[in-house]
Structure 1
């Protein structure tokens, strides 16, 4: 697309004077950051007061699994992936354990009692243990 041509101003007209006003500093602080902090603080306070201890323990384990997965990924990026089977096995074990733990958290959360009324906490935990054993069996065999 060719550049646009400027049209000359008529001879009798003077160029329009543009005046710019300097930006005035805001007298009140930005409220978006304080609103976000208030929202996050409210979520955290509600989590601490309303969440049962068992669910908090599962959340801590989920956070640990995220850290372990991130460390494994950064190790492979920085050092290399010579035993690639070991990386795949370890990383898939971390992701699989995260999924199993998230499933256990959903099934044992008291707020979800109506959705999982036919599954007891003991049954959910037994499923978690059996799934974890199968997952780690396959991961150990995949390493060679």
Structure 2
């Protein structure tokens, strides 16, 4: 009988009856260090492959949403940098503009998720028109609060 293991023990104890080889079907596999295979690529090739797959498989509507989301990120970063460099004297204006940017990004991400064809099982039968109407309604409410926050 082998020694008792503690629940915190991550390495299993090996008794004398166990060996270091594993038999799978008629093939015996010995554990050894992973070797580099010929299919390993450098990160630039992987990133290029991901980008090419994105360009080939993503619908034009989703690409347009992604471009708008990138624009919102750039605007948010520019607002934050301006606040750090020039100061934040009308702090309400900075908070309102920055929260409008972040809120619009979140609403746009929700629109992207709802209109993606691969997510139909998660959201049921939400039509793209209904998702866009919800997006417009949420955007109007968001901007109404942001404009009122400025004073």
Match for 1:138 among 111, 128, 145? 145
Match for 1:105 among 109, 112, 117? 112
Match for 2:60 among 53, 65, 77? 53
Gaps of 5+ in 2: 1-40
Match for 1:85 among 63, 86, 92? 92
> How do 1:4-43 residues align onto structure 2 when only pairs under 5 Å count?
35-43=42-50
* Cα deviation 1:27-57 (Å, max 9, x = unaligned): xxxxxxx610111011000000000000000
The alpha-carbon deviation at position 111 of structure 1 amounts to 1.3
Q: State the alpha-carbon separation in 2 of the partners of residues 113 and 45 from structure 1.
A: 24
Structure of higher CA gyration radius? 1
The structure, 1 or 2, with the larger RCO (C-alpha pairs under 8 Å, 6+ apart) is 1
* Cα deviation 1:44-76 (Å, max 9, x = unaligned): 000000000000000000000000000000000
TM-score when normalising by structure 2: 0.72
Q: Please provide the CA RMSD for this pair.
A: 0.8
List structure 1 runs of 4+ shifted beyond 2 angstroms. Answer: none
